[in-house]
């Protein structure tokens, strides 16, 4: 069943930045704010790379055997009939055959060993006939082998001078392995971004406090802590601020002096007891965004500290973090601006929507007759943490859309595309 648009409480968005404009402003203004430091490889995974990893030599640095077998020169080999070779030595990984093998000879070779001089082909040991005559071993290689088979060429993985990992990449274990393969034991990376977390509201209790009627536990701060850590940044929970204008002002000014970024949940509305947005606008700069869930959400700056002010409801905090805060933090930390992949899927639901505003709906994947589709979570409440727990991702609906019909193609963003 679709909801009546007349019941929509998000009605006045004309003074707020639309989604695309907000992202464009953020992307154009945000730059890395942390220092560059040199770190060891064992501390590199999860950090943002400041200087490219460049191959100092070909990788691998030499032609080598891809299998255990016998190496030989293809020019000495009868492809039609096969050839009987005299075995003149052995080569293994780290122990190459250093002599120049005679023509019409083979070398016993093991995987990873340097190819002997002049040899370009390896016959797998399973297909080679071995015999001994008066203390001399011979290898009979059957016909049909192409030149270069079972040989890995120097530079096959990477050419000398190739950029293997670009600056701005958040280093994965495989990227660290790439650095190690180049012989590097240290990398120049950006220092970890320091992010302060503040919750606001007289109704907020810390987890562990005795429950009081009319109050709620702070689910946002622990959630933000985990989300920030998932980006490789260092969160610092500064606690809960009461709805007091002077205290809010003092806390924001203090945090702005000590941290790179300040993420605030709650108090972003324009009510009499909502002081955050007013304070940011007074002592810094403030812009607000027209999305749902997420209104009110704003971003701004106090001194050199970026400020991201989120709504108080956990769902809105979660969505706003993934869509706006996550790319901002990644860029401030030295990373590239992340662009999650949207997957076009048929809608297994129908829903009306207010035109002129970008919306993100919690959704589950569904299958019908083997066809993958996506179903909107049945309830929209911004306080429904269960909808985050049970959803597989978000449906993104653009400003010009006013209705989704069952079977329409919608853009689905899996949580996995958002680092979760």
Residue 117 · residue 100 · CB < 8 Å? yes
Which residues is 359 bridged to in the sheet? 292, 397
Alpha helix (H) residue ranges in 69-132: none
Mark residue 50 as left, alpha or beta (left: phi above 0; alpha: psi -120 to 50; beta: remaining): alpha
Instruction: Tally Cβ neighbours within 10 Å of residue 382.
Output: 18
Q: What is the pLDDT of residue 360?
A: 92
The residue that leads in pLDDT, 89 or 18, is 89
Question: Tell me: the pLDDT tens digits for 317-332?
Answer: 998 899 889 999 999 9
Q: Where are the beta strands (DSSP E) in 73-120?
A: 83-91, 105-109
Does domain 5-34+192-332 bear CATH number 2.40.10.120?
no
Task: Locate 289 and state its tokens.
Answer: 């965004």
What stretch of H or E contains 372?
A: strand 371-376
Does domain 37-59+156-190 bear CATH number 3.30.70.360?
no
Q: What is the pLDDT of residue 7?
A: 32
Q: What is the mean pLDDT of residues 200-208?
A: 87
What is the domain partition of the chain in residue ranges? 5-34+192-332, 37-59+156-190, 64-152, 343-418
Question: Tell me: the pLDDT tens digits for 63-122?
Answer: 999 999 999 999 999 999 999 999 999 999 999 999 999 989 999 999 999 999 999 999
How does residue 11 score in pLDDT terms, banded at 50, 70 and 90?
very low
Question: Tell me: the pLDDT tens digits for 143-196?
Answer: 999 999 999 999 999 999 999 999 999 999 999 999 999 999 999 999 999 999
Residue 107 · residue 85 · CB < 8 Å? no
How far does CA 88 lie from the centroid of its chain?
A: 52
For the cut 80, the answer to whether the pLDDT of residue 1 exceeds it is: no
How does residue 140 score in pLDDT terms, banded at 50, 70 and 90?
very high
Asked whether the domain spanning 343-418 has the same topology as the one spanning 5-34+192-332, the reply is: no
Q: What is the pLDDT of residue 300?
A: 82
How does residue 12 score in pLDDT terms, banded at 50, 70 and 90?
very low
For the cut 60, the answer to whether the pLDDT of residue 130 exceeds it is: yes
Q: CA 68 to CA 74: how far, in whole Å?
A: 17
For the cut 60, the answer to whether the pLDDT of residue 15 exceeds it is: no
Q: What is the pLDDT of residue 29?
A: 84
Q: What is the pLDDT of residue 22?
A: 79
Question: Which residue in 235, 218, 217 sits closest to 227, CA to CA?
Answer: 235
Question: Which residue in 15, 33, 5 sits closest to 328, CA to CA?
Answer: 33
pTM for the whole structure: 0.82
- The dihedrals phi and psi of 229, each to the nearest 5 degrees, come to -65, -35
Q: Flag the least confident range among 97-101, 201-205, 400-404.
A: 201-205
Q: CA 296 to CA 298: how far, in whole Å?
A: 7
Class of domain 343-418 (CATH, top level) = mainly beta
Q: Which fold has domain 64-152?
A: Molybdopterin biosynthesis moeA protein; domain 3 (2.170.190)
How does residue 16 score in pLDDT terms, banded at 50, 70 and 90?
low
Angle at 15 between CA 10 and CA 19, to 5 degrees: 75
Percent of the chain whose pLDDT exceeds 70: 91
Residue 89 · residue 97 · CB < 8 Å? yes
Task: Locate 345 and state its tokens.
Answer: 């899927």
Q: How far apart are the first and last CA of the chain?
A: 30
Task: Locate 318 and state its tokens.
Answer: 């979660």
């Amino acid at each position: 069943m679709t909801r009546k648009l007349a019941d929509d409480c998000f009605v006045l968005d004309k003074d707020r930045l639309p989604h695309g404009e907000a992202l464009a402003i953020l992307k154009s203004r945000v730059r890395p704010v942390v220092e560059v430091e040199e770190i060891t490889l064992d501390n590199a995974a999860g950090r943002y790379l400041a200087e490219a990893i460049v191959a100092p030599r070909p990788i691998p640095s030499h032609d080598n055997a891809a299998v255990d077998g016998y190496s030989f020169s293809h020019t000495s080999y009868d492809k039609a009939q096969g050839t009987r070779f005299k075995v003149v030595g052995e080569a293994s990984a780290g122990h190459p055959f250093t002599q120049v093998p005679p023509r019409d000879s083979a070398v016993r070779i093991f995987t990873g060993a340097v190819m002997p001089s002049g040899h370009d082909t390896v016959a797998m040991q399973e297909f080679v006939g071995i015999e001994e005559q008066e203390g001399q071993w011979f290898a009979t290689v059957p016909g049909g082998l192409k030149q270069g088979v079972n040989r890995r060429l120097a530079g096959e993985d990477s050419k000398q001078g190739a950029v293997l990992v670009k600056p701005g990449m958040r280093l994965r274990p495989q990227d660290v392995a790439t650095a190690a393969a180049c012989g590097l034991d240290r990398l120049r990376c950006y220092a970890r971004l320091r992010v302060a977390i503040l919750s606001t509201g007289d109704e907020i209790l810390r987890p562990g406090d005795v429950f009081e009627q009319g109050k709620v536990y702070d689910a946002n701060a622990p959630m933000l802590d985990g989300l920030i850590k998932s980006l490789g940044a260092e969160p610092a929970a500064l606690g809960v601020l009461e709805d007091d204008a002077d205290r809010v002002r003092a806390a924001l000014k203090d945090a702005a002096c000590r941290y790179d970024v300040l993420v605030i949940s709650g108090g972003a509305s324009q009510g009499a007891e909502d002081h955050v947005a007013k304070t940011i606008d007074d002592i810094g700069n403030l812009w607000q965004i027209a999305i749902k869930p997420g209104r009110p959400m704003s971003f701004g700056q106090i001194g050199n500290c970026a400020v991201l002010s989120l709504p108080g409801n956990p769902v809105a905090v979660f969505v706003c973090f993934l869509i706006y805060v996550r790319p901002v933090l990644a860029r401030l930390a030295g990373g590239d601006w992340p662009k999650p992949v949207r997957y076009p899927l048929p809608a297994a639901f129908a829903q009306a929507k207010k035109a002129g505003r970008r919306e993100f709906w919690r959704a589950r994947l569904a299958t019908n007759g083997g066809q993958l589709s996506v179903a909107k979570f049945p309830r929209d409440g911004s306080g429904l943490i269960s909808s985050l727990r049970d959803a597989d991702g978000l449906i993104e609906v653009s400003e010009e859309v006013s209705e989704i019909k069952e079977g329409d193609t919608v853009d689905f963003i899996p949580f996995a595309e958002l680092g979760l």
